[in-house]
Structure 1
Amino acid sequence: MRRLALATLAALAACNDGPEQQSGFGSSITTAPPATTSSGPDTSTTTSSSTGAAEDSAAASTANSSTSSAGGIPDGGAPPDGGDKPPQGCGGKVDLLFTISSQSTMKLAQGWLKSSFPGFIDTLESEFGDFDYHILSANTSPLWGHPVLCAGCKDICPEVPEYPCGVTPEPCDTIAGAGVTYPIGEDASNKRCDLASGLRYITPGQPDLEEAFSCIASVGTSGAPLVAEMTMAALADEINAPGGCNEGFLRDDALLVVVAIQDTWDEDSVGTAQDWANALVEAKGGDPDAVVLLVIASDTDDPDGLCGYSGVPPGYHKLRTWTELVPHSVFGSICNEQGYAAYFAEAATKIKAQCDVFVPQ
């Protein structure tokens, strides 16, 4: 796996500029992964609460041939192996990465996400007899200890009184893309999430899975967007290596599922939509069929979108382009007031289909 190097994220906006103030971070990638190809895209775009159909997937087959001996007498050939064998499959192993915007406009969307999560997990548990999950919420707001939020907190940031001034952060609390276990800021959990694994992500056996997810997914509204950039940060080699903040999250024999949620188009994340798609494939050893992407974002580029049409030309929406470049993906509208259950259901169908044909690298 080629390495992605992300520079330190900075450039934070002052928190006392009011609720409309948005924070931003900037970084760069020193190496871009090569473009990848697959057998053909299977991308869905959804702007209502209806579900999509499952994709058809098939495993590659090989043919056997026999040879003859020197005397012209045919040998017996290899004994029959019972025909083509199905691929190994993911066996219910799914690595779920959530990157959730923490900008000031995300309060409603975060609530709809959390209300839709239980149904999503119920669907996956019903599809897989042994659902073996890793669930990580990437840190999109590595603000801990920054003077804008902590120094003189009560006087400077009265709108964020729950900020944990005086609480000593863990080293990974300040790392962009690391699994967040203590979300901070306005509308955030503002407490250490109780994860039974002792890691920075949820694993099987977690008591009260819904409560644990709600804690790590309540990233608040005092941070930044950049969900694509934070996705790449969370999947980088270094952060997943032994000793890294997300050590053990990515498994070679698991399907990777990315859920990115942002109410804008993510025009500021480093790289292009192609870079983002390449990063997902690179994380799975170059196998585009080992990745499922769900993006929930503004659909103002769609004349029939739920957020209202803005009249922009096709291709301008980078998050939509990202989904179009990933073969197995779903796009949903952030403005769906009925919640995101339909998008999760469609993604679950794709997860099941890809798990069935998954061949671990």
Structure 2
Amino acid sequence: MKPLIALCIYLSAFLLLSACAQESGTIIAQKTLEQPKVELPVYPDVVQPEQPEIPVYPTVNQPEIVWITEDGGQSQLDFNPRVDILFVTDNSDSMKSAQANLIKNLNRFTNGITNNKMIDYHIGVISTWDSSERFATKKKDTYQIGELRNVKSIAGTDSKERFVTKKDSAGVLANTLKIGVAPYAEGGPEVEEFFSPLAAALDKSGHAAVNEGFFREDAQLVVIFMTDADDSSTRITPEQMAQTLIDFKGGRQDKVSVYGVLVNAKDPDSVKDWDLRVHPKYHPECFTGQKNNGKCTGFGPERLEEMIVAANSGAGNPKQIREQYIMSITSPIFGTELGRMGDSITVKTLEKQIFLSQIPRVDDAGKLMLRVRYGTADVLAQGKGQLIPNKANGGWTYNPSSNSVKLSGNVKYEYKEGARFAVDLVPVPLAN
């Protein structure tokens, strides 16, 4: 029995210890699980700054160099220089020798104009006028104020034409300009007027008028006064006459040139018309009791000179204009000065302005990318022709304010019948 009892006791103790061990492990585990949690600090989210976008730059390309040629259909590229030359000639009795001197040296005046194959010219003449009743009733010719004189043939007979053109010979021109004189005793003018017949000549240029066809819209207008007197028009001032001519050419002063073959105030009275002499009838202020009081030293064509300066005001200061546009009617070198005047008219007539449709570009060296060629249409179409130099004297210049090319009047052209201009340029690129 005892062993059995002992075994029972042993088994009971074993079971008791096992139970205690189980409970003890559970307690330890529970204690382990019930340890206080460590709270980690909560930090706000850090916002990373956005990376800046890298700008994408367009590829920089230099504008392509492309030469273009101005529209060949533009009439302004044609070259048909025209000039209408009007002589306003004094035909009073004192002008006989002066007219003879003009005819004697006429070839020196017309040489550059008539021998230049490019120039299409009209040359006509009107005479001075006298508004007095005496002149109106006694003058013998049938020409009215401002009427162009008829062209005279080689034989000296009148034709139906009123002005000389390229088809006429030098002899026809000489005979036409030699209008002769009308002495005072035979009804000739006493107090000469030049502005009034000039204004009338312009008025009589309309359709079916006596001067129709002489003045052309696109032609250079040249007026030449030839007298030993001064203008005596009472209703027209020198400035008004100059402006009338400019207005007649559409406001373009560059299309008007006025010259004078005149006496000078310092010339002796013997070579002047009576109205410029120190004479009691025409200048009573110079006399006291019919005796010369010594106050007057001489008179010149002041009104004509004022008008010439006003009409050519773009050509320099008054002194320069007088030197260029006025010559002495009594000059010992009359022919030379007349030739110089003719050359001046030729150069002015051959000047040309071409307006461009696009603005030319300048290259990296600062050179204008522009060129001017001259030649016939077929030659120009091949990119050839006479290349006109870029220079003021004997070439062309560019005017940025008007975007135009101006050709000087003394370019040495290789003349070709029907030739014209071509203007080549690289235009400034348009902004995108």
Aligned AA (1:221): A
Aligned mate of 2:198, from 223, 227, 231: 231
Query: In structure 1, what is the Cα distance between the partners aligned to 2:156 and 2:161?
Result: 12
The whole-number CA distance in structure 2 between the counterparts of 1:205 and 1:146 is 35
- What is aligned with 1:51? none
Q: Counterpart in 1 of 2:166? A: 204
Q: 1:179 to 1:240 in 2, by over 3 A?
A: same
Q: 71, 80, 89: which is aligned to 1:91? A: 80
Q: Is the 8 A contact 1:296 1:333 kept in 2?
A: yes
Matches of 1:140 and 1:285 in 2, distance apart? Answer: 26
Does the Cα contact within 8 Å between 1:301 and 1:317 map onto a contact in 2? Answer: no
Contact 1:97 1:136 in 2 (8 A): yes
What is the match of residue 335 of structure 1? 330
TM-fit CA distance, 1:232: 2.0
1:281 maps to 2:246: yes
The one-letter amino acid of 1:323's match is I
Taking structure 1 as the reference length, the TM-score comes to 0.58
In structure 2, what is the equivalent of residue 17 of structure 1?
Answer: none
CA 146–271 in structure 1, closer or farther in 2 if over 3 Å, else same: closer
Matches within 5 A, 1:300-339: 300=265, 311=297, 317-327=302-312, 328=315, 330-339=325-334
Aligned length: 253
Say if 1:219 and 1:81 are closer, same or farther in 2 by CA, change over 3 A: farther
What CA RMSD, in Å, does the superposition of the two structures yield over aligned residues? 4.2
The Cα offsets for residues 27-63 of structure 1, whole Å up to 9 and x where unpaired, read as xxxxxxxxxxxxxxxxxxxxxxxxxxxxxxxxxxxxx
Q: 2: distance between equivalents of 1:114 and 1:360?
A: 37
1:251 to 189, 194, 216: 216
Q: For 1:56-75, list aligned pairs within 5 A.
A: none
Q: In the superposition, relative to structure 1, how do residues 149 and 353 fare at CA in structure 2: closer, same or farther (>3 Å)?
A: closer
Q: 2:165 aligns to what SS in structure 1?
A: coil
User: SS at 1:138's partner residue?
Assistant: strand
Percent of aligned pairs sharing the same letter:
20
Taking a change above 3 Å as real, the CA distance of residues 275 and 79 of structure 1, as seen in their structure-2 partners, is farther
Q: Kindly report which structure 2 residues correspond to 1:95-244, keeping only aligned pairs within 5 A, or say none.
A: 95-126=84-115, 128-140=116-128, 147-148=137-138, 173-181=142-150, 193-195=157-159, 198-206=160-168, 208-222=169-183, 223-224=188-189, 225-236=192-203, 239-244=204-209
Cα deviation for residue 179 of structure 1 reads 0.7
- Once the two structures are TM-superposed, the CA of residue 259 in structure 1 deviates from its matched residue by 1.0
Is residue 346 from structure 1 mapped to residue 340 from structure 2 by the alignment? Answer: yes
Residues 181, 193 of structure 1: 8 Å contact kept:
no
Q: Distance in 1 between the 2:267 and 2:163 partners?
A: 35
Distance 1:178 1:78 in 2: 58
Aligned mates of 1:233, 1:220 — CA distance in 2:
21
Q: Aligned to 2:68, what secondary structure does the other structure show?
A: coil
For 1:269 and 1:91, the matched residues in 2 are separated by 39
- Structure 1 182/79 Cα, relative in aligned 2: closer, same or farther at 3 Å? closer
Change in 2 beyond 3 A, CA 1:320/1:89: farther
Aligned in 2, Cα 1:90/1:118: closer, same or farther, shift over 3 Å? farther
Q: Is the 8 A contact 2:91 2:181 kept in 1?
A: yes
- Distance in 2 (CA, whole Å) between partners of 1:182 and 1:76 is 61
Alpha carbons 1:193, 1:212 under 8 Å: kept: no
CA contact (8 A) 2:147 2:201 kept: yes
1:48-86 Cα distance to aligned partner (Å, 9 max, x none): xxxxxxxxxxxxxxxxxxxxxxx9999979964359x9x
Give 4+ residue runs of structure 1 displaced > 4 Å after superposition. 71-79, 87-90, 306-310
1:306-350 CA distances to partner (integer Å, 9 max, x unpaired)?
A: 97996369x9711111222222561011222543x2333222332
Aligned counterpart, 1:25:
none
Is contact 1:140-1:230 (8 Å) kept?
yes
Instruction: Return 5+ residue gaps in structure 2 as ranges.
Output: 1-57, 279-295, 316-323, 356-432
Paired amino acid for 1:247: E
Classify the secondary structure of the residue corresponding to 2:105: helix
Say whether the 8 Å CA contact 1:89–1:355 is kept in structure 2.
Answer: no
One of 232, 236, 239 as aligned partner of 1:267? 232
Higher relative contact order (CA 8 A, sep 6+): 1
Instruction: Report the secondary structure of 1:174's partner residue.
Output: coil
Q: For 1:282 and 1:90, locate their aligned partners in 2 and report how far apart those are by CA, in whole Å.
A: 24
Quote the residue 2:349 is aligned against.
Answer: 355
Match of 2:378 in 1: none
CA contact (8 A) 1:263 1:297 kept: yes
With over 3 angstroms needed to count, the CA separation of the structure-2 counterparts of 1:176 and 1:133, relative to structure 1, is: same
Q: Report the counterpart of residue 294 of structure 1 in structure 2.
A: 259
Is the strand fraction higher in 1 or 2? 2
CA deviation profile, 1:212-246 (whole Å, cap 9, x unmatched): 4324432413333322322222122xx11110111
Structure having the higher Rg: 2
Counterpart position of 1:35:
none
